[in-house]
């Protein structure tokens, strides 16, 4: 029997659930791109983008996914043969490193595990052992979406500054922007990158790149510049066509403006982060309650480093694939597959963006029903524990 014939819920870690308001804002005929309303939409977007990453620096929007943001960051600041240090803590910084290598950069990996954050002491030691400052950039993800770790970017930035190292600190916030506190200027991050389809509640198709003064200075000598991503023409607010390197992504711009208005209505980034914190706490309470030897377990060992955007759950001897199929086919809930080295015995719960207690409790309750149906050993009811957490905020 299947019970899936209601509204499907997709709880994968991106794309996230899109608000109807955003989808409706996107559905409109194409306007003139050189005059009229679109210019106002564009001005509103660019006026607000800095406040999302909390920076007075430049904001750039690429017509791409997050990968385009990655590429934009590299090619506008670095030259062939420059060395980048990739901080491993799951999959995503490593894939960014592969892109760097293909672009002609030298890549060194500060190795890490799938279950822990980047080791700040190891980073400090590596920078101290770089007397000629050969490292030009440090690549790190705030949340790695495979492992669901939350790296402490404030602490990482402090390490880079204390080392008085020239390397640019580039942070992949694709999973975490709009879910997790991020303070680009206050922490001293040089480049931040995001994508539209996760915490920012807009369908995939936009990449974001924010650049601070050190990154903009590096642009002056960058040898890897690529036409479509080049910063200079994009910095001309009078010319929408060059700001987007061609025809602007009109539908997405309307959607983004609506999503940004929703963030403002909620009370700004602090309110959005606070909601994600409570809902993520609820997810963690559920997983913690389900936990049992040989079965459910958190992937990220230290509770202080678990992401507010996604949770990777290990399933021990229990088949994560069977759980996923049961939830999707019989209950209309799509869970994220485990990726990287974590594929078979793990699944991921995305909790990013347009979510509230009914959506998160529905997801957790459905997972719990799936686990019960499979006879999975369980410590206790995750739903009850999650409701306790949410109750404190009601």
Ligand X SMILES: *Cc1c(COP(=O)(O)O)cnc(C)c1O
Minimum CB distance to ligand X, residue 265 (Å)? 26
151 binds ligand X (CB under 6 A): no
CA separation for the pair 121, 174 (Å, rounded): 25
229 binds ligand X (CB under 6 A): no
Give the rounded distance of the alpha carbon of 142 from its chain centre.
Answer: 7
Considering only residues 91 through 130, tell me which ones interact with ligand X, judged by CB under 6 A.
Answer: 92
Considering only residues 153 through 192, tell me which ones interact with ligand X, judged by CB under 6 A.
Answer: 172, 174-175
Torsion-angle region of 174 (φ positive above 0: left; ψ -120 to 50: alpha; else: beta): alpha
Q: Which is nearer to ligand X, 42 or 143 (CB)?
A: 143
Minimum CB distance to ligand X, residue 165 (Å)? 24
Q: Which is nearer to ligand X, 14 or 338 (CB)?
A: 14
Region binding ligand X by CB under 6 A among candidate stretches 48-56, 105-113, 143-151, 297-305: 143-151
210 binds ligand X (CB under 6 A): no
Retrieve residue 344's tokens. Answer: 């078979």
Q: What are phi and psi of 86, to 5 degrees?
A: -95, 125
Q: Which is nearer to ligand X, 299 or 366 (CB)?
A: 299
Q: Which is nearer to ligand X, 88 or 144 (CB)?
A: 144
14 binds ligand X (CB under 6 A): yes
Angle at 264 between CA 32 and CA 275, to 5 degrees: 130
Region binding ligand X by CB under 6 A among candidate stretches 36-44, 62-70, 211-219, 290-298: 62-70
- Pairing relation of β-strands 206-211 and 58-63? antiparallel
**42, 71, 76, 145: which one binds ligand X (CB under 6 A):** 145
DSSP3 helix / strand / coil % (the chain, rounded to 5):
45, 15, 40
**41, 52, 141, 215: which one binds ligand X (CB under 6 A):** 141
Number of residues that bind ligand X (CB under 6 A): 14
Angle at 283 between CA 282 and CA 286, to 5 degrees: 90
Minimum CB distance to ligand X, residue 67 (Å)? 4
CA separation for the pair 302, 299 (Å, rounded): 9
Q: Provide Rg for the chain, Cα atoms.
A: 21
CB 305, CB 180: distance < 8 Å? no
67 binds ligand X (CB under 6 A): yes
Minimum CB distance to ligand X, residue 14 (Å)? 5
DSSP-derived letter for residue 78 is -
Minimum CB distance to ligand X, residue 112 (Å)? 14
Minimum CB distance to ligand X, residue 372 (Å)? 30
The residues near 262 (Cβ < 8 Å, ≥ 6 apart) are 19, 21, 22, 201
Element housing 59 (H / E): strand 58-63
Q: Which is nearer to ligand X, 92 or 298 (CB)?
A: 92
Q: Closest by alpha carbon to 153, among 267, 307, 284?
A: 307
CB 90, CB 142: distance < 8 Å? no
Minimum CB distance to ligand X, residue 376 (Å)? 27
Query: CA quadruple 101, 105, 111, 116: dihedral positive or negative?
Result: negative
Minimum CB distance to ligand X, residue 193 (Å)? 8
Q: Which is nearer to ligand X, 149 or 163 (CB)?
A: 149
Region binding ligand X by CB under 6 A among candidate stretches 40-48, 60-68, 113-121, 228-236: 60-68
Q: Which is nearer to ligand X, 62 or 289 (CB)?
A: 62
Retrieve residue 16's tokens. Answer: 């996230």
Site for ligand X, rule CB under 6 A: 14, 65-67, 92, 141, 143-145, 172, 174-175, 195, 204
């Amino acid at each position: 029997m299947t019970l899936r014939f209601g509204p499907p819920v997709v709880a994968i870690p991106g794309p996230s659930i899109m608000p109807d308001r955003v989808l409706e804002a996107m559905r409109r005929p194409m306007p003139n791109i050189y005059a009229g309303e679109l210019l106002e939409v564009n001005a509103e977007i660019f006026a607000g983008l800095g406040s999302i990453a909390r920076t007075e620096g430049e904001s750039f929007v690429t017509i791409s996914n997050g990968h385009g943001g990655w590429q934009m960051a590299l090619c506008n600041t670095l030259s062939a043969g420059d060395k980048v240090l990739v901080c491993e803590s799951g999959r995503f910084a490593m894939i960014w490193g592969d892109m760097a290598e293909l672009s002609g950069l030298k890549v060194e990996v500060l190795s890490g595990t799938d279950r822990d954050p980047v080791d700040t002491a190891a980073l400090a030691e590596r920078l101290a052992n770089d007397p000629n400052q050969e490292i030009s950039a440090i690549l790190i993800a705030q949340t790695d979406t495979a492992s669901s770790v939350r790296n402490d970017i404030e602490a990482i930035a402090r390490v880079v500054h204390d080392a008085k190292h020239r390397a640019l600190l580039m942070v992949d916030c694709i999973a975490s922007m709009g879910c997790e506190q991020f303070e680009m200027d206050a922490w001293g991050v040089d480049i931040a990158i995001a994508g539209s389809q996760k915490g920012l509640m807009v369908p995939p198709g936009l990449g974001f790149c924010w650049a601070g003064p050190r990154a903009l200075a590096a642009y002056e000598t960058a040898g890897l510049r690529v036409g479509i991503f080049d910063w200079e023409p994009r910095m001309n607010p009078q010319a929408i066509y060059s700001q987007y390197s061609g025809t602007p992504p009109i539908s997405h711009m309307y959607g983004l403006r609506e999503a940004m208005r929703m963030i403002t209505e909620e009370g700004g980034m602090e309110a959005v982060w606070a909601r994600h914190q409570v809902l993520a706490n609820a997810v963690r309470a559920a997983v913690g309650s389900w936990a049992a030897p040989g079965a459910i377990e958190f992937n990220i060992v230290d509770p202080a480093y678990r992401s507010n955007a996604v949770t990777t759950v290990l399933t021990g001897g229990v088949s994560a694939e069977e759980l996923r199929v049961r939830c999707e086919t019989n209950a209309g809930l799509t869970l994220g597959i485990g990726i990287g080295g974590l594929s078979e015995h793990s699944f991921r719960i995305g909790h990013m963006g347009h979510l509230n207690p009914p959506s998160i409790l529905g997801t957790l309750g459905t997972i719990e029903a799936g686990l019960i149906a499979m006879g999975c050993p369980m410590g206790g009811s995750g739903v009850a524990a999650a409701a306790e957490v949410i109750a404190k905020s009601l």
